[in-house]
Structure 1
């Protein structure tokens, strides 16, 4: 199984990088996990220009990576419990998660993914949402492997 997590993030500094690496390491016996953080000059300029330009720049970066079963994270997406989340991982061998930038994800992009989920009805800082996602990926893999992590 391959799982890729794509995020648009200005800096990795103080973004739970060590905790995320630990979840990736613990998950490695179940799946190959990739943390792909993207930020470049084009995104920076587009974000300064406003939401429409920013969303277009996110689409340009993300659309070539629409591979496997694609899941967008959005606060208005489907609410799942950990068991339901685990079933998604169980039934797909290649999964790509997409976390929006400062302006979220465009409607155009969300129409191209297979599923849109919400980690919580609360709005979270990008770095917290990303950490929660990696923990839930590990939890789902444990559920599917009958590992005792999930109680």
Structure 2
């Protein structure tokens, strides 16, 4: 299975880079992983609604151009569906069995995802009603994808 994570913004902190590298290595035996970083847009301190939409649209363009046709797209969205680790594992396994060989997970910027990206998503996944920095979210997502593969392989990491 091919898994791509498209995220807005660069990872600068060494400790996040180290965690991302560790989970990327762990995942390499289960899937082909690709990480894509889309540039985040600068905006003023206080945003008008029009500026928010403009920033999200610009970031969304960068995301959309990296989505390959035929991919199953999962957008991380606070209003999405919450799943347990077991449910996520089942979803990933089910998608593979249905012939979806390329899953794309999308992590938005600080203002969220554009409507265009949300419309393109096949599934909207929420980890929590709380907001997380994209750097931390990437680590959490990678860990949960790794956990899903361990669960699906009946390996002991999960417990």
Provide TM-score, normalisation by structure 2: 0.85
**Aligned-pair distance for 1:116?**
0.3
Structure 2 residues without counterparts, runs of 5 or longer: none
1:69 equivalent among 72, 75, 95: 72
Q: Distance in 1 between matches of 2:33 and 2:73?
A: 14
Partner of 2:17: 17
User: Where does the alignment leave 5 or more consecutive residues of structure 1 unmatched?
Assistant: none
Q: Tell me what 1:114 maps to.
A: 122
Name 1:131's counterpart in structure 2.
139
Question: Aligned residue pairs: how many?
Answer: 146
* Match in the other structure for 1:79: 82
Give 1:140 deviation, angstroms: 0.4
- Root-mean-square deviation (CA, aligned residues, Å) is 1.6
SS at match of 2:158: coil
- The CA distance in 2 between the partners of 1:100 and 1:16, in whole Å, is 17
1:149 aligns with 157
What is the SS of the residue equivalent to 1:75?
strand
Alignment of 1:20-31 (within 5 A): 20-31=20-31
* 1:2–1:33 Cα contact (<8 Å) kept: yes
Deviation, structure 1 residue 88: 2.1
Contact 2:38/2:59, CA 8 A, preserved across alignment: no
Correspondence 1:2 to 2:10: no
Q: State the 1:103 CA deviation.
A: 1.1
SS at 2:125's partner residue?
A: strand
**2:80 aligned counterpart, secondary structure:** strand
